């Protein structure tokens, strides 16, 4: 009978088949619809991961804000506290070194403004042309530039890295750009403009006024250090801003939602 001729060792599978092949993988690779489902699942998983990261970040910020609300006190400036300023408490760990450097550069700016004023006093004493205008303008810079630089470019980028919102970055780029131009202006040191920069420096040494010349050197070094440092970090922040996908449309939306006042507070 024919059924006795069947090979008992015959297999329904080909002997050439790889026993380690993943059938689901083989099916997906040969079926466009299955591959599309795999791609879709991958995208959903990526979206889910990003949402979890965003939720975690929001929870961290909420926790920090609550801690600061309960325990935080206005602590800056130390001699007359007006605002709360704490890089370890408010800035994400990865961004703390950059924000710390920006704060240090702002302190260098404050020092440069003070030394610049002292140098202008010596320029006036030395009989430099425009010495009176230099001194008056240098005092005005301390009164105006020092607080505005903190409010208009340092504080926005501080809040930018704390909240990662677009409008803070645009505020920083606008006012930070003007500050870079102002730094170049102060480095040049045109007589009568309130800057103890290069031109006033050269004229002081040429006239034999060593004290004024030395103070001009210190002021010029201060202007140069903070100017170059701010230019370096300006580029880094611009790259971060583009990578984060910030747009003017997002900035306008944030302004409409939160209002201008929110961008000078930590709330």
Q: Is 61 exposed, middle or buried (0-12, 13-18, 19+ CB in 10 A)?
A: middle
- Distance between CA atoms of 83 and 74, rounded to whole angstroms? 5
- Distance between CA atoms of 187 and 247, rounded to whole angstroms? 33
In this prediction, residue 158 carries a pLDDT of: 96
Q: Which of 44-58, 102-116, 217-231 has the lowest mean pLDDT?
A: 44-58
Q: Is the pLDDT of residue 46 over 50?
A: yes
Report pLDDT digits (tens) over 76-94: 998 899 889 999 999 999 9
User: Which residue has better confidence, 18 or 126?
Assistant: 126
Enumerate helices (H) and strands (E) in the chain, giving the number of each. Answer: 10, 0
Helix (H, G, I), strand (E, B) or coil at 123: helix
This prediction has a pTM of 0.73
In this prediction, residue 72 carries a pLDDT of: 67
In this prediction, residue 94 carries a pLDDT of: 95
- Distance between CA atoms of 128 and 132, rounded to whole angstroms? 9
Domain boundaries, the chain: 1-71, 93-264
- Distance between CA atoms of 75 and 170, rounded to whole angstroms? 27
- Distance between CA atoms of 125 and 118, rounded to whole angstroms? 11
245: left (phi over 0), alpha (psi -120 to 50) or beta: left
Count of CB atoms within 10 A of residue 219's CB?
Answer: 29
User: Which residue has better confidence, 201 or 22?
Assistant: 201
What does each C-alpha distance from 47 to 55, 61, 238, 242 come to in angstroms?
12, 21, 26, 20
Q: Where are the beta strands (DSSP E) in 47-143?
A: none
Is the Cβ–Cβ distance between 164 and 244 less than 8 Å? yes
In this prediction, residue 120 carries a pLDDT of: 97
């Amino acid at each position: 009978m024919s059924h006795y001729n069947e090979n008992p060792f015959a297999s329904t599978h080909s002997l050439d088949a790889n026993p380690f092949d993943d059938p689901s993988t083989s099916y997906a690779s040969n079926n466009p619809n299955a591959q599309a489902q795999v791609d879709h699942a991958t995208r959903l998983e990526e979206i889910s991961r990003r949402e979890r990261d965003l939720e975690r970040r929001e929870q961290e910020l909420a926790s920090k804000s609550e801690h600061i609300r309960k325990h935080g006190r206005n602590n800056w400036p130390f001699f007359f506290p007006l605002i709360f300023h704490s890089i370890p408490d408010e800035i994400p760990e990865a961004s703390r070194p950059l924000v710390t450097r920006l704060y240090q550069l702002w302190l260098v700016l404050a020092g440069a403004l003070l030394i610049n004023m002292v140098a202008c006093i010596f320029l006036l004493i030395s009989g430099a042309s425009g010495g009176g205008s230099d001194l008056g303008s240098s005092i005005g810079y301390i009164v105006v530039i020092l607080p505005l630089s903190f409010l208009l470019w340092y504080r926005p980028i501080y809040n930018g890295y704390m909240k990662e919102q677009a409008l803070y970055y645009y505020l920083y780029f606008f006012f930070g750009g003007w500050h870079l131009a102002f730094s170049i202006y102060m480095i040049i040191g045109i007589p009568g403009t309130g800057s103890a920069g290069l031109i006033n420096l050269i004229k002081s040494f040429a006239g034999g006024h060593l004290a004024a010349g030395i103070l001009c050197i210190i002021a010029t070094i201060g202007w140069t250090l903070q100017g170059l440092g701010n230019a370096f970090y300006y580029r880094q922040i611009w790259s971060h801003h583009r990578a984060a996908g910030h747009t003017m449309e997002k900035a306008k939306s944030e302004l409409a939602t939160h209002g201008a006042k929110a961008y000078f507070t930590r709330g």
